Structure 1
């Protein structure tokens, strides 16, 4: 089956391709010029999303190793919007900061920048846990291990990112013997079992305050993980990433100061950009690595 998804005139396809090509070993994502192929499990079915980017539209081919229910097809459409970064419209933030002396010039240099979401909310949450307090290179390597341990291969040979049920079946040792800390492994398995049992529902339409409280109640998940999951998984437009080291480093450079602002001051600096703090984070990340869009 195929889908054609319209793309805006200022769509920055190079940004999207760069984000999805972070794992050079390409276990679950394969990126070619103007093409993304990503494997993901949807309701237990291995699905290959093959996305060809062209001027004005993305042509998306969905290749499933099984039958997809109408609900699963809705999840597929959701995943396509996520990986194409069409969840958050950047225009309102651009308009809001035109006269801002700190971020205004940064945003003008990066017009059209978008936030890429993970294909599923569960992927975003597990990626946030995997990436806690380690560098990006090591996090990507752990993510690859996680996929190999819990995911499944599509008929094409590309691996599919696992769902909660797949992760819930793992024993901690299947991760800890492969360079996961015990705390990180336990948090991943705890989250997966809560989601698989229905005790924690990952619903995009949920109230943000209630959702945040439910996630914070999971041992091992803190405010940074919640905000990052809201950003990458839910496409929430007003995430405050004041605990993020790269955000603080970006503010340090923009302010021309000798040290990073502390977390409290970073929170106050970001507050001026509500209700668009997610886009503020994207532009702050991008300011550290021009012309690369995002560092996380």
Structure 2
């Protein structure tokens, strides 16, 4: 059934129906089921009575289901499903459509502006007409319909999970006005936003807003949390592996806040609490959390490529970041030092240049320094922390590039452009750029070939391979080399095949 998940392959309706009948969480978000007798579309995990086979239609994306006239189920809530991410396309048209969809799905890709088809075409270097034609041919809907579905589902989650006024919900979801939001909501869902929030939304709380995010199993929660804990910065983040929780501070533009995540592995979901101050930007927060914890990964597609070399590690994910600039600074500090040493140096940086933040969570007391602050920091002040001159220069150059807007480090950024800009900075080489691409840019094929631990792990006799030999060894992992790197960093999972 894994072939059903291939982005290039058409859906196998019979296989989809079997997954629906089994409520199989492995296929959550991989497709949606429209029920013609009710006009509702659901996730495969929906617990309503399984509809008759002849009443079912299957769609790869929620926007396709809505374009066919189906409304989202109020019980399984399609907006909570993991997103379907495609990276394996080979031809130019499919790659263009995938990149366009990725940009539309990334709130951080547009800064203070609103996404538009014209702006999207300009960013991709094609005409509006060509973009619409390719997008519709590859994904079955127009770019505008895709964007409208994303906005409406984001609004639906805000209405259900928060007590934000409806006018704020409209703006947070990306609508230019309350009038347009109400009109689009009623036209698509055949009910008003007020009617959907018939129970008053989420209960009032002084302890943040709660939202639920889903993921596809398997997911090695312990491995993810151990990775984050080993690199945790005191005051900025707190990880409890046994309690399956992780919390940290977060800055969005000029707003500072916090969030706390609790994994529920048996239910294949994460419960997230977010500071009230961040409520107006909740869709951005959700997108960043999904990238940070790699909740949208497709284990079946990834393991189909990596399983021969890593048969027992299908649940490993690639840890991301909530802040691309922070991750980049940490990568620079971590050059040629141990993980423990890098953590110590980064903690000193936060203590010297960060700002305090009051939170309701024990251990969360600091915000990571802004690009503007580190761009203005003197070499002497950085040197006093134990950073050598090369690292000082790299951090200052990186901070200036991000602060000026010349460099964007988020999941929707152009990978090639960002990596070229990174390696043009002093003190940032291929290893650092690849590591930043792996975690901050969320490039699943990133491969830091110069990594010493990786070179040793890939060697049959335990000796270091050259970077070129490591790349040759990992060639068969494309387009999931980043996931291969995470598996190789855990030696017990590596069983190199002879193929």
1:95-130 deviation line (CA, Å, top 9, x unaligned): 1234x4xx1xxx222221111112121122111111
Partner of 2:301: 92
Q: Which moved more, 1:200-209 or 1:275-284?
A: 200-209
User: Could you tell me which residue of structure 1 aligns to residue 248 of structure 2?
Assistant: 38
Partner residue, 1:294:
none
Cα distance in 1 for partners of 2:298, 2:369 equals: 28
Structure with the greater relative contact order (CA < 8 A, sep ≥ 6): 1 or 2? 1
Match of 2:211 in 1: 3
Give the aligned partner of residue 317 of structure 2. Answer: 114
CA distance in 2, matches of 1:165, 1:76: 22
Distance in 1, matches of 2:261 and 2:396, equals 31
Gaps in structure 2 of 5+ consecutive residues? 1-208, 495-499
Conserved? CA contact 1:50–1:61, under 8 Å: yes
TM-score after normalising by structure 1 = 0.86
Q: Secondary structure of the residue that 2:477 maps to in structure 1? A: coil
Whole-angstrom CA distance in 2 between matches of 1:239 and 1:182: 28
Matches within 5 A, 1:133-148: 133-148=336-351
- The answer on 1:47 being equivalent to 2:257 is yes
Match of residue 19 from structure 1 = 227
DSSP 3-state at the match of 2:457: helix
1:21 alignment partner, SS class: helix
C-alpha distance in 2 between matches for 1:35 and 1:194:
34
Q: Does 1:181 align with 2:385?
A: no
Report which stretch shifted further, 202-211 or 35-44: 202-211
1:285 is matched with which residue?
489
2:472 aligns with 268
1:228 counterpart (435, 446, 464): 435
Asked if the contact 1:28–1:38 (Cα under 8 Å) also holds between the matched residues in 2, the reply is: yes
Q: Which moved more, 1:259-268 or 1:127-136?
A: 259-268
SS for the counterpart of 1:272 is helix
Is the CA contact 2:413–2:441 (under 8 Å) kept in the aligned structure 1? Answer: no
> In structure 1, the residue corresponding to 2:295 is in which secondary structure?
coil
Unmatched runs of 5 consecutive residues or more in structure 1: 291-296
CA-based RMSD: 2.2
TM normalised by structure 2 equals: 0.52
Q: How far off is 1:50 after superposition?
A: 0.9
Aligned residues of 2:216 and 2:298 also touching (Cα < 8 A) = no
8 Å contact kept, 2:332–2:391: yes
Partner residue of 2:419?
Answer: 212
Instruction: Give the Cα separation in 2 of the matches to 1:97 and 1:14.
Output: 20
Instruction: Give the direction of change, closer, same or farther, for the CA distance of 1:288–1:171 in structure 2 (3 Å limit).
Output: farther
1:61 to 265, 273, 295: 273
Question: What is the rounded CA distance, in whole Å, between the counterparts of 1:89 and 1:23 in structure 2?
Answer: 25
Distance 1:185 1:74, change over 3 A: farther
Alignment length (residue pairs) = 278
The structural deviation recorded for 1:29 is 1.2
Equivalent pair of 1:46/1:153 in contact (CA under 8 Å)? no
Q: Which of the residues 283, 287, 292 maps onto 1:78?
A: 287
C-alpha displacement at 1:69, in angstroms?
5.0
8 Å Cα contact 2:456-2:462 kept in structure 1 = no
Distance 1:210 1:245 in 2: 26
- Contact 1:16 1:85 (8 Å CA) reproduced: no
Secondary structure in 2 matching 1:26: coil
Task: Please state how far the C-alpha of 1:87 moved relative to its aligned partner.
Answer: 4.9
- Does the 8 Å contact 1:251/1:284 carry over to 2? yes
Name the CA distance, whole Å, in 2 between partners of 1:38 and 1:214. 29
1:49-107 Cα shifts (integer Å, max 9, x gaps):
1112213221111115x56654xx44322331133222543332211234x4xx1xxx2
Moved more, 195-204 or 215-224: 195-204
In 1, distance between residues paired with 2:251 and 2:367?
Answer: 6
